[in-house]
């Protein structure tokens, strides 16, 4: 890691070699600008963050309490504020805390078509654009924070306080970047394997070190928590996993991470019958889950599709949509096969989209997967599509009933009712929710916990609260008491919104470029000074 002093020395030598023409260039100012922009390209970021993820995966293999987490962010500012908050609340430490880029939120919030459902109808380039935007804001957070340290350093020098100046220089040398890994959703690849490869390259060039891809049919893609999902045979999915790996390797991100997501638990349909060459191969295993009936050649109808298995003629059930149906109750077995196959063919992590957050259900599948891939690790969606309160109250109710505990005071079908909010059952359920991440990391192989859409919901909730107060009887007090005063009390950096938008950095640059002639914004009449 280059120190502040080293950067100044390097810049000074560069200026010297260019003679009098560069006399007005300050080596220290050059050093500051270089330190404020340590990541020059998205590929720099992808390589740096890929190494972080790989180290975190190794640490988790040794100690399951070292799981990782992220929140989905739909705008660069949201991602930036999240990382600023993490550094503020956790002593400047960003360890094992990532960002998540949700395809759902890109579709709902970033498409030029306006809000769309999670069906891959948005512009594919908007995914890479959001990755680039997130990292632009994170790099700006670095520059802003370092700029503040540089101004403090100048003040300490001016005051002759060498002890403080040395301490500040140490902070600068050991600055922790806001740049962290992003797990980026490529949906089902937006087309064939070539289309997947092309988009993956754009995402990696924007900074993505980790790409998540799912085994649905691209043109039939649905949100993992909706009905109507259609999967593809394993070989089709593996071709896309290989396409993403080739994209990483072509761009020199050799440690790039691939998350293979299976939607088979909730997907009862397939568009294709898999190609099979011999009994027991991948295609045959995929087809073995189809809902079929044995038929006699005399009973065949025009256009029937027939499978020959063990000397029997089987007719898969084909729907009016021309899709084929899997047998009911095969979802978990298909998830296990999907996950093992993906890990054995180039994926690094797996994602099983479940219908509820239940540690035992997830753990049972992971136990089966780990029989074949012992170090299998899961990325899990702590989804806002789950009713966490109801699910965990029902889990506690069922556990208590099984233990013989009296549950007659509770109506299982109505456990969401506010009348139970202060009850013993509710408290037990809330404790299970609180410890869910640690429990699932320990008992179900979950390396990474993410919430896909949290900032979508927080934006809606905070806006609703402000609108209710500001446009109601509280008027301006609705904003002051509900927002600004809380920002000040909680030390929210963007209470100084001009500073957050870069006005102080702009002043620094004006001074570098024009010296005493610079017209700066942060003078005594700047109202931002009211916030201290």
Give the C-alpha separation, 46 to 59, whole Å: 20
Give SS3 for 485. Answer: helix
Burial of 445 (0-12, 13-18, 19+ CB in 10 A): buried
Burial of 29 (0-12, 13-18, 19+ CB in 10 A): middle
- CA angle in degrees (0–180, nearest 5) for 17-20-21: 90
Task: Evaluate whether 222 touches 329 at the Cβ level (below 8 Å).
Answer: no
Residues 6+ apart with CB under 8 A from 423: 409, 410
Give the C-alpha separation, 442 to 426, whole Å: 24
Residues 6+ apart with CB under 8 A from 157: 165
Give the C-alpha separation, 342 to 349, whole Å: 9
Residues with catalytic annotation? 223
Smallest CA-to-CA distance from 31 within 11, 50, 54, 17 is with: 11
The sheet that has 324-325: what strands, in order across it?
Answer: 230-231, 269-270, 324-325
Cα(first)–Cα(last) distance of the chain, in Å?
Answer: 34
DSSP 67: -
Phi and psi dihedrals of 231, rounded to 5?
-95, 170
Task: Evaluate whether 127 touches 212 at the Cβ level (below 8 Å).
Answer: no
Tokens of 313: 């003629």
Strand 210-214 to strand 182-185: parallel, antiparallel, or no bridges (unpaired)? parallel
Smallest CA-to-CA distance from 217 within 330, 362, 333, 324 is with: 324
């Amino acid at each position: 890691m280059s120190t502040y002093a080293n950067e100044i020395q390097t810049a000074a030598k560069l200026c010297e070699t260019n003679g009098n023409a560069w006399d007005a260039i300050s080596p220290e100012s050059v050093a500051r600008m270089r330190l404020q922009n340590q990541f020059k390209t998205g590929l720099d970021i992808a390589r740096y963050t890929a190494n972080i993820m790989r180290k975190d995966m190794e640490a988790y293999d040794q100690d399951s309490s070292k799981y990782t987490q992220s929140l989905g962010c739909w705008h660069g500012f949201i991602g930036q504020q999240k990382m600023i908050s993490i550094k503020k609340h956790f002593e400047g430490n960003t360890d094992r805390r990532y960002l998540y880029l949700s395809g759902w939120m890109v579709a709902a919030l970033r498409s030029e078509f306006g809000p769309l459902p999670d069906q891959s109808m948005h512009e594919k380039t908007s995914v890479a654009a959001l990755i680039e935007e997130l990292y632009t804001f994170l790099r700006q957070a670095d520059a802003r924070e370092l700029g503040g340290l540089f101004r403090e350093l100048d003040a300490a020098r001016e005051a002759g306080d060498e002890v403080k100046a040395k301490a500040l220089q140490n902070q600068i040398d050991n600055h922790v970047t806001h740049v962290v890994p992003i797990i980026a959703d490529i949906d089902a690849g937006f087309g064939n394997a070539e289309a997947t490869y092309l988009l993956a390259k754009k995402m990696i060039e924007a900074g993505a070190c980790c790409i998540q891809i799912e085994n649905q049919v691209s043109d039939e893609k649905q949100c993992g928590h909706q009905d109507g999902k259609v999967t593809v045979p394993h070989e089709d999915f593996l071709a896309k996993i290989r396409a993403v790996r080739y994209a990483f390797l072509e761009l020199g991100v050799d440690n790039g991470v691939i998350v293979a997501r299976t939607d088979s638990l909730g997907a009862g349909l397939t568009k294709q019958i898999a190609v099979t060459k011999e009994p027991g191969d991948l295609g045959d295993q995929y087809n073995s889950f189809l809902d079929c009936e044995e038929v006699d050649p005399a009973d065949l109808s025009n256009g029937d599709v027939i499978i020959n298995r063990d000397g029997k003629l089987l007719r898969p059930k084909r729907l009016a949509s021309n899709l084929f149906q899997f047998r009911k109750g095969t979802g978990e077995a298909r998830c296990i096969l999907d996950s093992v196959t993906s890990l054995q063919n180039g994926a690094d992590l797996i994602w099983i989209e479940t219908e509820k957050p239940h540690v035992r259900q997830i753990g049972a599948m992971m136990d089966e997967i780990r029989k074949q891939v012992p170090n299998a690790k899961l990325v899990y969606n702590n989804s806002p599509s789950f009713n966490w309160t109801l699910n965990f109250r029902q889990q506690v109710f069922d556990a208590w009933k099984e233990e013989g505990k009296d549950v007659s005071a509770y109506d299982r079908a109505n456990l969401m009712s506010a009348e139970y909010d202060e009850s013993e059952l509710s408290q037990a359920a809330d404790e299970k929710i609180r410890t869910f991440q640690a429990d699932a990391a320990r008992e179900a192989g979950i390396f990474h916990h993410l919430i896909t859409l949290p900032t979508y919901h927080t934006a809606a909730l905070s806006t609703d609260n402000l609108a209710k107060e500001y446009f109601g009887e509280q008027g301006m007090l609705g904003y002051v008491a509900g927002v600004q005063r809380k920002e000040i009390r909680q030390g929210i950096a963007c209470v100084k919104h001009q500073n957050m938008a870069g006005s102080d950095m702009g002043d620094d640059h004006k001074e570098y470029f024009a010296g005493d002639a610079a017209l700066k914004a942060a003078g005594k009449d700047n109202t931002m000074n009211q916030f201290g």
